């Protein structure tokens, strides 16, 4: 019997990254900014999306794909504001591109939403600061939320998540008087891993910062339309291997 | 459990990678690694852990199955992967996922070799190349924030050592003389390829 070594040297995620890149291109052409929202559980992703939809009040066409391990609670909260589809991961800790594609198909089948005519598509990821960081969901911008009760040391503890995010949104700032947390320290920690990080702070209870957050999104969409947006999660990625490599399919 | 062999090597600094997502509800991936379709359905597992290493392993084993079929392999000896420090893949969990899934493939006696690599970057302003320490992404020469990681972001399938029956196909070492009858090996490779097609 003979043995033979087949050299591959390809990232295992190449195929899903290729699909994600293709989808991102499709959304760019349609003028839809895809926003991947990440945080630990309970940091306020759903609340911020509710506040965003309320603030815009129909000014922009938006839809949400919301990932959840098992329940549809987040989807039900968002349903009064905009078209929303649930992506149930069945216990898995993150979303992958094929779940997103399925969600988009379901969105297209609804009567109230045309996913080809959106200004913003939000993907609310599973609450987790680790695994979702490694999966490209066709987003143009990646936003990580950090609530003030989590502690200002988190960016350095979850470097992949913060390294690959374009913006950090500090949430629940109405609690700042009660917790040992300063936005400046958290920003400093985040910028050690991602020096170009945009830092915003919001309280959806008082409404403070919501308008600035919405302007940030609008500005990101403008940059995307102008072809001037460089997603941070693609910065460190090596260029795809040339075609014809062993495992290409 | 027999047949599940894996090893971890570390190049450059000792690697302390990121933790897993931890313990999530009792579940386990049930998708066939042969399809390489990643996570499609999740079931229960007595171990009670589901991590994204499981879905990455399914994708990896799917790629290996396709390669083996393509090269008319009669078996797989070794699968070598490279894990970068910023890849978000935890070697210990990858080994667990391998031990969990490889028995359900057609190459259950394959070994997994994991090579861990450190984190290197290049400065987009001054061009200096440097090792990133403590996840501080600033140029160590000019302090610029515009740096790009050149090594350490990947989860690579480096290479696969396959067994083949066809002597003319061999580039690698000849292992022993327990060569199976030629026809048998080929038909096995073909049946793999057929199963692959059927699964798509």
CB contact under 8 A, A192 and B87: no
CB pairs under 8 A between A and B: 183
Q: Name the strand (E) or helix (H) holding B79.
A: strand B73-84
Specify the range with the lowest mean pLDDT, choosing from A14-23, A205-214, B6-15.
B6-15
- Please give the ipTM for the structure prediction: 0.81
CB contact under 8 A, A1 and B173: no
CB contact under 8 A, B161 and A70: no
CB contact under 8 A, B171 and A133: no
Q: Which two tokens stand for residue A32?
A: 């839809």
Average pLDDT, chain A: 92
Residue written as token pair 């090996």: B185
Distances from the Cα of B124 to the Cαs of A75, B16, B138, in angstroms?
42, 27, 11
Within 8 A of A16 by CB-CB distance, chain B residues are 38, 59
Q: What residues 24-43 of chain B have any CB closer than 8 A to a CB of chain A? A: 24-27, 29, 36-42
Nearest-Cα distance to chain B for A27, in Å, is: 23
Region A138-146: mean pLDDT is 98
Q: Name the strand (E) or helix (H) holding B115.
A: strand B111-117
Nearest-Cα distance to chain A for B64, in Å, is: 8
Going along A56-166, which residue ranges are E strands? 62-68, 84-88, 120-124, 141-147
CB contact under 8 A, A1 and B164: yes
Residue A176 has pLDDT above 50, yes or no: yes
Question: Using 50, 70 and 90 to split pLDDT, how confident is the model at B14?
Answer: very low
Q: Specify the DSSP class assigned to residue B176.
A: -
Q: Which residues of A92-103 are buried (b: 16+ CB within 10 A; e: fewer)?
A: bbbbbbebbeeb
CB contact under 8 A, B71 and A156: no
Supply φ then ψ for residue A128, to 5 degrees. Answer: 180, 130
pLDDT of residue B167: 59
Within 8 A of A135 by CB-CB distance, chain B residues are 52
A193, exposed or middle or buried, with CB in 10 Å at 0-12, 13-18, 19+? Answer: buried
Q: Among A87, A91, A160, pick the best mutation site for testing chain B contact (most B Cβ within 10 A).
A: A91
Within 8 A of B29 by CB-CB distance, chain A residues are 92
Average pLDDT, chain B: 72
CB contact under 8 A, A160 and B63: no
Going along chain A, which residue ranges are E strands? 2-11, 33-38, 62-68, 84-88, 120-124, 141-147, 167-171, 198-201
pLDDT of residue B4: 63
User: Tell me: the pLDDT tens digits for B148-187?
Assistant: 999 999 999 999 999 998 655 444 444 443 334 343 333 4
Highest mean pLDDT, choosing among B4-8, B34-38, B70-74, B174-178: B70-74
Distance, in Å, from the CA atom of A66 to the CA atom of A177, rounded to the nearest integer, reads 32
Within 8 A of A249 by CB-CB distance, chain B residues are 66
User: Tell me: the pLDDT tens digits for A179-198?
Assistant: 999 999 999 999 999 999 99
Residue B50 has pLDDT above 70, yes or no: no
The alpha-carbon radius of gyration of chain A (Å, integer) is 19
Question: Using 50, 70 and 90 to split pLDDT, how confident is the model at B32?
Answer: very low
Q: What residues 92-121 of chain B have any CB closer than 8 A to a CB of chain A? A: none
Highest mean pLDDT, choosing among A89-93, B16-20, B136-140, B196-200: B136-140
Residue written as token pair 């920690």: A189
Q: Which of A7, A91, A156 sits opposite B25 (nearest CB)?
A: A91
A52, exposed or middle or buried, with CB in 10 Å at 0-12, 13-18, 19+? Answer: buried
Q: Name the strand (E) or helix (H) holding A107.
A: helix A97-109
Residue B47 has pLDDT above 50, yes or no: no
Question: Using 50, 70 and 90 to split pLDDT, how confident is the model at A139?
Answer: very high
Cβ–Cβ < 8 Å for A82, A35: no
Give the residue among A112, A186, A107 at the shortest CA–CA distance from A145.
A186
CB contact under 8 A, A1 and B176: yes
User: Tell me: the pLDDT tens digits for A49-93?
Assistant: 999 999 999 999 999 999 988 888 899 999 999 999 999 887 778
């Amino acid at each position: 019997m003979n043995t033979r070594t087949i050299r591959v040297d390809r990232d295992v995620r190449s195929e899903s990254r290729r699909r994600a890149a293709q989808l991102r291109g499709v959304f760019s052409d349609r003028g839809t900014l895809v926003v991947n929202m990440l945080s630990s559980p309970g940091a306020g992703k759903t609340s911020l999306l509710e506040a965003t939809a309320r603030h815009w009040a129909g000014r922009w066409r938006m839809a949400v794909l919301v990932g959840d391990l098992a329940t549809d609670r987040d989807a039900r909260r968002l349903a009064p504001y905009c078209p929303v589809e649930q992506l149930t991961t069945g216990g898995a800790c993150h979303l992958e591109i094929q779940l997103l594609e399925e969600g988009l198909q379901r969105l297209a089948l609804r009567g109230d939403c045309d996913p080809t005519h959106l200004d913003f598509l939000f993907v609310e990821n599973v609450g987790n600061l680790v695994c979702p960081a490694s999966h490209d969901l066709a987003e143009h911008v990646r936003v990580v939320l950090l609530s003030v009760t989590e502690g200002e040391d988190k960016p350095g503890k979850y470097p992949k998540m913060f390294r690959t995010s374009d913006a950090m949104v500090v949430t629940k700032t109405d609690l700042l008087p009660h917790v040992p947390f300063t936005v400046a320290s958290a920003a400093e920690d985040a910028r050690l891993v991602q020096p170009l990080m945009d830092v915003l702070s919001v309280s959806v209870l008082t409404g403070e910062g919501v308008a600035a957050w919405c302007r940030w999104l609008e500005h990101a969409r403008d940059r995307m339309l102008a072809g001037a947006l460089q997603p941070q999660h693609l910065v460190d990625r090596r260029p795809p291997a040339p075609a014809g490599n062993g495992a290409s399919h | 459990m027999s047949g599940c062999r894996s090893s971890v090597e570390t190049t450059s600094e000792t690697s302390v990678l990121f933790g897993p997502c931890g313990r999530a509800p009792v579940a386990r991936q049930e998708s066939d690694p042969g399809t390489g379709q990643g996570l499609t359905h999740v079931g229960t597992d007595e171990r009670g852990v589901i991590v994204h290493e499981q879905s990455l392993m399914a994708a990896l084993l799917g790629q290996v199955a396709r390669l083996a079929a393509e090269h008319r392999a009669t078996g797989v000896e070794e699968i070598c992967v490279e894990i970068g420090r910023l890849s978000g893949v935890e070697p210990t969990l990858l080994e667990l996922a391998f031990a969990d899934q490889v028995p359900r493939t057609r190459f259950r006696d394959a070994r997994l070799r994991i090579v861990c690599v450190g984190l290197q970057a290049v400065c987009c302003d001054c061009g200096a190349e440097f090792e990133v320490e403590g996840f501080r992404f600033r140029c160590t020469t000019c302090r610029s924030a515009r740096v790009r990681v050149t090594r350490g972001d990947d989860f690579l399938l480096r290479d696969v050592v396959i067994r083949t029956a066809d002597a003319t196909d061999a580039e690698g070492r000849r292992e022993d003389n327990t060569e199976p009858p030629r026809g048998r090996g080929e038909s096995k490779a073909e049946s793999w390829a057929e199963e692959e097609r059927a699964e798509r």
